Amino acid sequence: MTKDQKGPASTTRRGALKTLAVGGAAAATLPLWARYTHAQSAAPIKIGFQVHRTGIGAAYGRWYDRTTQAAVRLINEAGGINGRPIEIVAEDDGTDAKRGAEVVEKFATQHNCDVAFGTLFSHVVIGSAPRAGELKIPYFVVSEGHHVASGMLNRYTLQPGITDVKSQVQAMAPFVSQNLGKKVTMIFPDFAFGHDHRDYFSAAMQAAGGEILELIAIPPTETSFTKYFPRIPRGTEVLYHVMVGPAVLTFVKELGEFFGPSRPEMFGFIDSLEAVDIASPGLEFLEGSYFWEGNPRHAQADQSPFDAFYREQVGVDARGASVSDPADVSTYAHMFGCWETLYVLKAGMEAAGYQGTGDRAKLIEAVEAMTDMPHSNEHPQGAKRFNGKTHQVFGHQYITQVQDGFLKLAHTTSIEDTLYPDEVDYTTQPL
């Protein structure tokens, strides 16, 4: 009796810890060794979402996630894909190329996902794509890198939801040369993303009758920029700037101190200021300057009903911030790519009659067969044209001007402005 009464008290701390540890280890290792069976026809379609939750891409990752969740909810509410719901299997890649490749392997061989999707940063895409190709898992990236269209990757890697940097940059040159000036100085970060801007914009500007006076590459570890500004030639009519990372606020502030009230025209890429409020203290100097935007962050007076719908579903207000927290500014110029990619995936799977992982090759062929995508709720950023040979989509680009802290649409390029000759034909590679 006495023993029975002592029951609960006899659970020692060590014993409890042991039980917990054993239970925890069992729970943790269960998915490790369990082998997954092939999806049944009524089972969900599993989309492996390679998300930058940590690392340099975390702000993008957060919004890529929200956009993805919104689109998946809508698709599932409308009956899913081929009558099957979508299930998102998210894994953090730490915005790291090595971990990215491991995550793709995990999607293909552990979670048995139908496709992998959602990567933004180029080095993660380039590090992961070889594994996707080898494992023959369709890999839909939302990266805006030129890596897909350049032919560096493989038949299983596609970018149907966002345009690439080459087309974006070259489409800016006609506007800059006709409206802002012909003598340009470029300031860009001294790594691959900056070099893409340097190379593609220089070439397009010269083709548009302009001239590049100076190329100023900023080392990636730089935290102060004043010493580079004296290299900006006096005759500069337009200052083209693209800076990525937290240093951008310092960059703009120091640029303001350097030029004072008389500055040349300025044109920048919003990549620098994604997830940053344009009305932040220190950014006043940008007033009147121009930006490329993949999708105008601030709702325009003539906003399309599609943009309004998309904004509402994702939970973004008219200034591009979260409806629940105005200080939480979105990565509006890029994140639409997740939404549009998921709808391309849906259309592709429906066209291919996709049933399971055995139909992956059919899915690739169905997406390759796509061409025009009209401006719609599925494509709220604008109409698109997909090139099945290069696996890259092309679309309108937007140029906005900062007016009283509002990014006002100044110009919309045509799709034709963004086209360039094919550099690869992936359809010749085996599936």
Contact residues: other proteins, CB under 8 A: 28-29, 31-33, 35, 53-54, 91-92, 96-98, 101-102, 105-106, 109-110, 122-123, 126-127, 129-131, 133-134, 145, 147, 152-154, 190-193, 195, 219-221
CB of 126 to other proteins, least distance (A): 5
**Closer residue to other proteins in complex, CB, 369/431:** 431
Cβ closest to other proteins, residue 147 vs residue 346: 147
**Cβ nearer to other proteins, comparing 123 with 346:** 123
Nearer to other proteins, 46 or 346 (CB): 46
Which residues, other chains included, contact 154 with Cβ-Cβ below 8 Å and sequence gap of 6+? 129, 130, 132, 133, 426, 429
Closer Cβ to other proteins, 191 or 306, answer by number: 191
Q: How far is the CB of 32 from other proteins (least distance, A)?
A: 7
Pick between residue 35 and residue 227 the one whose CB is nearest to other proteins: 35
Closest contact distance (angstroms) between CB of 103 and other proteins is 9
Residue 207 corresponds to which amino acid?
A: A
The helix, strand and coil proportions of the chain, stated in percent and rounded to the nearest 5, come to 40, 20, 40
Q: How far is the CB of 198 from other proteins (least distance, A)?
A: 10
Give least dist CB 427 to other proteins, A.
17
Q: How far is the CB of 108 from other proteins (least distance, A)?
A: 8
CB of 33 to other proteins, least distance (A): 7
CA 179, 180, 182, 186 dihedral sign is negative
Shortest Cβ 210–other proteins spacing (Å)? 23
d(CA 412, CA 256): 28
CA–CA dist 186, 242 (Å, integer)? 8
Smallest gap from Cβ 331 to other proteins, in A, equals: 18
The one-letter code for the residue type at 45 is I
Sheet bearing 384-387, strands edge to edge: 372-373, 384-387, 392-395
Nearer to other proteins, 190 or 317 (CB): 190
Comparison of 219 and 358: residue with beta carbon closer to other proteins: 219
Closest approach of Cβ 377 to other proteins, in Å? 31
If the CB atoms of residues 130 and 356 are measured against other proteins, the closer one turns out to be 130
Alpha-carbon distance 212 to 259, whole Å? Answer: 20
Q: What is the dihedral of CA 384, 89, 129, 243, to 10 degrees?
A: 70
Q: Which long-range contacts (CB under 8 A, 24 or more apart) does 33-36 make?
A: 36/110, 36/111, 36/112
Count of C-beta atoms within a 10 Å radius of residue 167 = 23
Cα separation, 184 vs 173, in Å, equals: 10
Residue at token pair 């911030």: 321
- Whichever of 96 and 307 has its CB closer to other proteins, that residue is 96
Give the N- to C-terminal CA distance of the chain in Å, as an integer. 72
